[in-house]
Structures are given as C-alpha cells and as structure tokens.
C-alpha cells in the first residue's frame, strides 16, 4: 500500500475509516463499512478491496472484525436509492455505518470526494481505499458483507446470476432481466431497469 500519512487536529484519538461498495449494480443495497483500527493490533495486507481475491478478502474481513477497536456496517436499500439517488444513498449508508459504531470517533476519513453528515470532523480522500489502512479495512468488510448478501439473494431470486455478478450490469444479468423481469431488489431508477419498465408499460398501453 502506498500509504498516505495524515496529521489530525489536537485532541483526536479515535479515527474511523469509511467506505462504501455497490454504487454501480442494478440490484441490491449500497453498503458502507466503518472501521476504527486497534493501535496495538496490526492487520497486514490491507488494500483496496477490489484488488484483493475473494478468498483474501474473506480472511481479512474476519481479522478486521476480530481485531479492530470498533467496526460497523450501514446500508441504503434499492427503494431509498431510487428515491434520493445513488450519491445521496451512498452518503446515507456511510452515515449509518459511523452512527452504528459502539465507540464515537473523533475524526472520519472518507473514501471519495464527498463527506456524509457526521457528528465528528471528517476529510474526504480520493482513492483512500488504496492509501489509508482504516478506509481499506472499511472497504473490505463492506464488500464481503454485500457479496455475501447477493449470494443469499441469488437463492431468493434464482435465474439472474446474482451470486456471480453481484447485481452489476453483466450480459447475463441484462439478459435475465429481459427474460424474467424486475425484482423488488432492482433499482428502478437505473437506466437498464428503467428502460425495461418503460418498454413494458408502453407495450401494455398499446394493447
């Protein structure tokens, strides 16, 4: 990791890293992680979750949950995404993750270029998931949690291939949408889903 070293305001003791996963999929929630690392328990191998293998992410997620000083998850559902848009839903999921911590942080490091509304000072860091250990840890637990949920959704909504593509707009997913229709976990405001619903409504109106 090309680690970025930061200085904090006086009095800062607990720093939380925050990241979200699932902005691009057509289905499922956006999930955020918040992690306060333990200063005496080093976790080796932290990195951007997208650059790690599934097996390595699973191992690290267990280590993070066991050794972090505090960790929590937050989420925004597909219906919320459709109502307030994906950016606002991502910020909401981050806020929920931080508020769910059992320790109140003094400072938050946020992946990206926007900070959610938090009860502590915060700083947004572009590509922070590849540069800040706390954010890397947050991205890992969020991705493992969301991927696990999408595998569970695959059993609830068979035929879409959710376990393999995790809700992203793959060819398999788009073909299944056209064939099987839209489920309750699909994001109706996203282009491919919205166009499918519009076309079906037009077909029904033409009858």
Residue 3 has pLDDT above 90, yes or no: no
Judge whether residue 1 has pLDDT over 80. no
Q: What average pLDDT does range 138-162 have in this prediction?
A: 98
8 A C-beta contact, residue 47 and residue 1: yes
CATH entry 3.30.420.10 includes domain 15-156: yes
Residue with tokens 């930061």, as numbered in its chain: 6
pLDDT of 129 strictly over 80 = yes
Give the phi and the psi of residue 170 in degrees, each rounded to 5: -75, 165
Is the pLDDT confidence value at 200 over 80? Answer: no
pLDDT at 22: 98
- Beta-bridge mates of residue 36: 70
Percentage of the chain beyond pLDDT 70 is 94
* Domain regions of the chain by residue span: 15-156
Instruction: Answer yes or no: are the C-beta atoms of 74 and 174 closer than 8 Å.
Output: no
Higher pLDDT among residues 124 and 6, named by residue: 124
Quote the mean pLDDT of the chain: 94
pTM here is: 0.93
Do β-strands 30-36 and 70-76 pair in parallel, antiparallel, or remain unpaired?
antiparallel
């Amino acid at each position: 990791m090309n680690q970025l070293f930061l200085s904090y305001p006086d009095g800062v003791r607990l720093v939380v890293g925050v990241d979200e996963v699932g902005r691009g999929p057509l289905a499922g929630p956006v999930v955020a992680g918040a992690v306060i690392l333990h200063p005496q328990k080093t976790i080796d191998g932290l990195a951007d979750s997208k650059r790690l293998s599934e097996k390595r992410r699973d191992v690290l997620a267990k280590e993070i949950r066991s050794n972090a000083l505090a960790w929590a998850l937050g989420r925004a559902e597909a219906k919320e995404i459709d109502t307030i848009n994906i950016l606002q839903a991502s910020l909401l999921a981050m806020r929920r993750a931080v508020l769910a911590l059992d320790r109140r942080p003094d400072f938050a490091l946020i992946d990206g270029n926007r900070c959610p509304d938090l009860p502590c000072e915060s700083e947004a860091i572009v590509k922070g998931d590849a540069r800040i250990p706390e954010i890397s840890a947050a991205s890992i637990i969020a991705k493992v949690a969301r991927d696990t949920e999408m595998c569970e959704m695959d059993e609830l909504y068979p035929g879409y291939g959710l376990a393999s593509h995790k809700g992203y707009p793959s060819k398999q997913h788009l073909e299944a949408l056209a064939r099987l229709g839209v489920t309750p976990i699909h994001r109706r405001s996203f282009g491919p889903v919205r166009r499918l619903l519009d076309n079906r409504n037009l077909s029904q109106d033409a009858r």
